[in-house]
Amino acid sequence: MMNKKYFFAFILFILFSVAAQSQQNYAVSINYTPVLNTNDFASVFGGKTGNRVKLDGRGLIGEIEFVALPNTSFEILESIPVESHFIYKVITNDYPYTNSPLYIDGRFVKMSEVRPEIRKIEKFSKEKITGNLSSLENNIYMWGGNTPNGIPELLEFYPANGNISESTKELWILKGVDCSGLLYFATGGATPRNTSSLINFGNAVDIKGMSTKQISDIVQPLDLIVWNGHVVIVLDNETTIESTPSKGVHKTDLTSRLKTIMNERKPVNDWQSTSGKRFVIRRWIEQ
């Protein structure tokens, strides 16, 4: 049972904190900040036993939406006191993709009474983006992930109960990238975070009715071979790169990868122009 002294101290903390938070409706991420679709962070990182990460039927952390980059701004909709910190229900311009509520741990952000500037995006060169992509080869896949080195603070804020395996640690700190997270990290957050936006990002490449060879002859480095659910990035004239649950970040011969895709999907110029299994190619950077 909680000591009365600590109980009243806790109540005072809540009262004073709520009063302070009522004047601070915005927040800015200090470092990489996990954004979840649940306010129960402890159930994801630790759970009842304190030594496991919550996984869904796919073996993925379904509660993760994405990892906000440093200086991402949030508008706070609700403050939820949890022990000695707050969980915030938020919205952000960096992630306009879901009707589900978004939550962040207040220890990852600094508060503001005025609306912060939108995160400034540095324009990377093609060479830098290509180099960033190549440097991530062999990184593991992480649903909602776009931080290849993970977020060590998650183990500080939600410490494990006892020893955990290296694979559990990697899950705990959200180490790795998913398919669009690979691109998001490589571009410094200059590209949309989800494939639902990438299918219309940039300009369409005319591929309707073309063969595998015809398409492989016209695509250019950093073109996106994309459908709603996955993106494959053209790395150079002979190679693609992508992140998948089974292989992580890996490269494939361009023609071979296109042939595999076209065995299942048809090439179209406009995603909205038809239905069924299809893909588009989007050119989004000056060649």
Is residue 162 domain-shared with residue 105, that is, in the same domain?
Answer: no
pLDDT value, residue 97: 87
CA distance 94 to 158: 25
Whether the CB-CB separation of 233 and 242 falls below 8 Å is answered with yes
Residues 17 and 87 in one domain: yes
Residues 13 and 100 placed together within one structural domain of the fold: yes
Are 61 and 154 found together in one domain? Answer: no
Amino acid in position 158: Y
pTM for this one? 0.90
Q: In this structure, what are the phi and psi dihedrals at residue 218, rounded to the nearest 5 degrees?
A: -105, -15
Chain centroid to Cα 133, Å, comes to 15
| Whether residue 91 sits in one domain with residue 74 | yes
Q: Tally the domains of the chain.
A: 3
One domain, residues 226 and 169: no
Looking at the fold, whether 8 and 108 belong to one and the same domain comes out as: yes
In angstroms, the CA 97 to CA 65 distance is 9
Q: Are residues 21 and 104 in the same domain?
A: yes
Residues 170 and 152: their CA atoms lie apart, in Å, by 9
Is 76 part of any domain?
yes
Same domain, 107 and 130: no
Last residue of a domain, one of 163, 186, 209: 186
Q: Give a yes or no: residue 118 inside a domain.
A: no
Q: Looking at residue 287, what is its pLDDT?
A: 72
Among 52, 85, 112, the domain-final residue is 112
Q: Is residue 117 part of a domain?
A: no
> 119 in a domain, yes or no?
no
What pLDDT, in 10s, does the model give residues 95-149? 998 788 999 999 999 999 999 988 989 899 999 999 999 999 999 999 999 999 9
* Whole-number Å distance between alpha carbons of 159 and 217: 51
Which of 112, 144, 166 is the last residue before a domain boundary? Answer: 112
Per-residue 3-state assignment (H helix, E strand, C coil) for the chain: CCCHHHHHHHHHHHHHHHHHHCCCCEEEECCCEEEECCCCHHHHEECCCCCEECCCCCCCCCCEEEEECCCCEEEEEEEEEECCEEEEEEECCCCCCCCCCEEEEHHHEEEECCCCCCCCCCCCCHHHHHHHHHHCCCCCECCCCEECCCCCHHHHHCCCCCCCCHHHHHHHCCCEECHHHHHHHHCCCCCCCCHHHHCCCCEECCCCCCCHHHHHHHCCCCCEEEECCEEEEEEECCEEEEEECCCEEEEEEHHHHHHHHHCCCEECCCHHHCCCCEEEEEECCCC
Structural domain range at position 210: 195-283
Give yes or no: residues 216 and 273 share one domain: yes
pLDDT at 59: 95
Res 24: pLDDT: 76
Q: What is the pLDDT of residue 141?
A: 98
Residues of the chain with pLDDT under 70: 1-23
60 falls within a domain: yes
Clarify whether residues 149 and 233 are in a common domain. no
- The per-residue pLDDT for 4 is 54
Euclidean distance between CA atoms 41 and 153, whole angstroms: 13
Indicate whether 120 belongs to any domain: no
Neighbours of 5 (CB within 10 A): 8
Tokens 């200086």 sit on residue = 71
- Residue 121 falls within a domain, yes or no? no
254 located within any domain: yes
- Regarding whether 104 and 9 lie in a shared domain, the answer is yes
